[in-house]
Amino acid sequence: MAVVREQLPPGRYGRSADARADHRLRILAVVFGVVTVVLVGWFGYHYVAGTSVSGEIIKFKRVSANAVEVHLEVRKDEGATGTCTLRALNDGHEEVGRKDVRFTASQTRVDQIITVRTTERATAAELVGCSDSDG
């Protein structure tokens, strides 16, 4: 009785079409993964490094029915100029006051108390954001 082979002898006829397709898919997946990591790194670096002015509200205090004092700390590059926008909110989270504060000092850290005038009683203060005036 003769033994019948169901598979071709290994290495005799080269790779099968499935093996070539698997190899191409692996190469494509590696290239796609490398490109994705590079793009995420590039965007992340420019997001972090591109921000030369950043701020943080340390505390705020309502000083009257028409004013709020905000203790603002700003960190920036030496020599950079920037603007931070503050706003005061009422109980309904509606804006009742807004102030843009410009920083031009050569210091890298500015710690300042700013008074924001309001149209009615404010219950909260918020830092909308800071931007670099140089670009």
The answer to pTM > 0.75 is no
Digit-coded pLDDT (tens) for 51-95:
578 889 999 999 999 999 999 999 888 878 889 999 999 999 999
Return the SS3 of 21.
helix
Question: What would the DSSP string read from start to end of 73-99?
Answer: EEEE-TT--EEEEEEEE-TTS-EEEEE
| Beta-bridge mates of residue 118 | none
The two tokens of residue 11 are 């290495």
Q: Please say if the pLDDT value at position 9 is more than 70.
A: no
| Beta-bridge mates of residue 56 | 73
At 85, the amino acid letter reads T
Spatial CA neighbour of 121 closest among 97, 98, 100 = 97
**Position with higher pLDDT, 125 vs 132:** 125
